[in-house]
Amino acid sequence: MAVLATDIAPDRGSASEPQASGHPAEPDAQTGGSAQRLFEPGGLTLEDVVLGAWEELVADGRAECPVCGGAMSMLDGCAGCGSDLS
């Protein structure tokens, strides 16, 4: 399995009020609300997310894309963003 990270940062806009965790909320471009942070203390790690998607792909041939949340298949990768776990 391989994971690729790029040095292109997403446009986050301006931060709003801090959440209970002490971190500023990240605006969600689609809903205008706050997006869930992937790496909250005690939450899922990148390894957890990628391995979960990999296990779903192996078992079912389909999974939720860990990058964009779109539909991902074993053969074609993600239909939404083109990500691929291999």
Question: Mind listing the pLDDT tens digit of every residue in the chain (86 residues)?
Answer: 555 555 565 555 544 444 444 445 455 555 555 566 655 677 788 899 999 999 999 999 999 999 999 999 999 999 999 999 88
Count of structural domains, the chain:
1
What pLDDT is attached to residue 63? 95
2 belongs to a structural domain: no
What pLDDT is attached to residue 19? 46
What pLDDT is attached to residue 44? 82
Domain that holds residue 56: 43-86
65 belongs to a structural domain: yes
What values do phi and psi take at 12, rounded to 5? -95, -10
36 belongs to a structural domain: no
CA-based diameter of the chain, in Å?
42
24 belongs to a structural domain: no
At residue 59, the 3 state secondary structure works out as helix
